[in-house]
């Protein structure tokens, strides 16, 4: 069994930009290329997979204009990543399209495992990666998730904001993270069906769920943050210091 990893890194970081305030210096790069202690977020993420002995091949989806510069940056500063021969592919307009473009380049056997992991979750651990791989192998589909600590409300959006429609029992809720791992045949089928039906999801699990395959949840971690808004960089610096 081989393990392929897809890292979608072709986003524009619009929530990061729209939430920017005068309190910080304007970013010069999209969040996945922003440096934490001199190392771009994407490189930190890649290093966690490049350093995993289970991983055969890594695919990174990037905007077309970023492929050349990123390849050059890796060559210059991060030989340990280059040694793993990551394949840099062009991303798409939405995350699903970026993952789909990479998936189209993967030539896997049906029971090989494909992991998908956000470029902007740099604190994923080797243990978490291994657990998702093992569960994906065993059950066909598995993701990292964490229990909800806040009470979750279902709302209806209104002109004034939102009105609560129901309270969702906390035990019934898990917050989905990545890695999300699948047997190749399971993920491929789910993508093909979503494409045929024009379905758009915000993660791979949602495509697999609708294809009818059960998706297991393994324990993620609070530290496995998705860098989304400016304050997340403060959190990232905190986790960096304490990791
Ligand atoms: N992503 C991608 N291709 C896209 C959109 C997103 O590869 N067309 C990637 C992002 O680069 C990121 C991951 O998907 O690594 C998770 O997406 P998100 O956190 O939403 O990042 P952005 O889409 O860049 O941010 P925003 O939604 O705020 O614009
Ligand atoms: Mg997005």
* DSSP state string for 178-228: EEEEEEHHHHHHHHHHHHHHT---SSHHHHHHHTT---EEEE--TT-----
pLDDT digits (tens, 9 = 90+) for 75-134: 999 999 999 999 999 999 999 999 999 999 999 999 999 999 999 999 999 999 999 999
Cβ of 9 below 6 Å from ligand 1 = yes
Q: What is the pLDDT of residue 57?
A: 98
Asked whether the beta carbons of 140 and 205 are under 8 A apart, the reply is: no
Q: Which of 10, 11, 70, 92 to mutate to test the pocket of ligand 1 (most atoms within 8 A of CB)?
A: 11
94 lines ligand 1 (CB under 6 A): yes
CA distance 230 to 233: 6
Nearest to 87 by CA among 46, 31, 36: 46
Which residue has the CA at smallest separation from atom 25 of ligand 1?
Answer: 13
Can you tell me the mean pLDDT for 134-138?
A: 98
Ligand 1 neighbourhood includes 145 CB (under 6 angstroms):
no
Q: What is the pLDDT of residue 18?
A: 87
128 touches 221 (CB < 8 A): yes
Residue 195 to residue 198: CA distance in whole angstroms: 5
% of the chain residues with pLDDT over 90: 93
Cβ(129) – ligand 1 distance below 6 Å: no
Q: Is the CB of 32 under 6 A from ligand 1?
A: yes
How far is the centre of ligand 2, averaged over its atoms, from the C-alpha of 13 (Å)? 7
Write down the pLDDT at residue 223: 96
Separation of CA 81 and ligand 1 centre (Å): 22
Average pLDDT over residues 211-236: 97
């Amino acid at each position: 069994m081989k393990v392929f990893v897809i890292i979608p890194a072709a986003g524009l970081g619009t929530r990061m930009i729209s939430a920017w305030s005068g309190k910080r210096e304007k970013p010069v790069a999209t969040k996945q290329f922003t440096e934490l202690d001199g190392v771009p977020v994407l490189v930190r993420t890649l290093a966690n997979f490049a350093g995993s002995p289970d991983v055969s091949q890594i695919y990174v989806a990037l905007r077309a204009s970023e492929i050349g510069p990123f390849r050059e940056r890796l060559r210059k500063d991060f030989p340990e990543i280059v040694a793993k021969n990551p394949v840099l592919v062009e991303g798409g307009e939405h995350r699903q399209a970026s993952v789909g473009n990479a998936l189209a380049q993967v030539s896997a056997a049906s029971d090989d495992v494909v992991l998908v992991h956000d470029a902007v979750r740099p604190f994923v651990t080797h243990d978490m990666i291994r657990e998702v791989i093992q569960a994906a192998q065993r059950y066909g589909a598995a993701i990292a998730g964490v229990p909800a600590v806040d009470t979750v409300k279902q709302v209806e959006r209104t002109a004034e904001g939102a009105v609560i429609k129901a309270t969702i029992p906390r035990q019934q809720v898990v917050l989905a993270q990545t890695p999300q791992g699948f047997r190749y045949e399971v993920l491929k089928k789910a993508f093909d069906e979503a494409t045929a039906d024009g379905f758009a999801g915000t993660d791979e699990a949602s495509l697999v769920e609708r294809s009818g395959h059960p998706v297991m949840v393994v324990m993620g971690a609070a530290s496995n943050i998705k860098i989304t808004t400016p304050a997340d960089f403060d959190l990232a610096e905190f986790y960096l210091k304490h990791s």
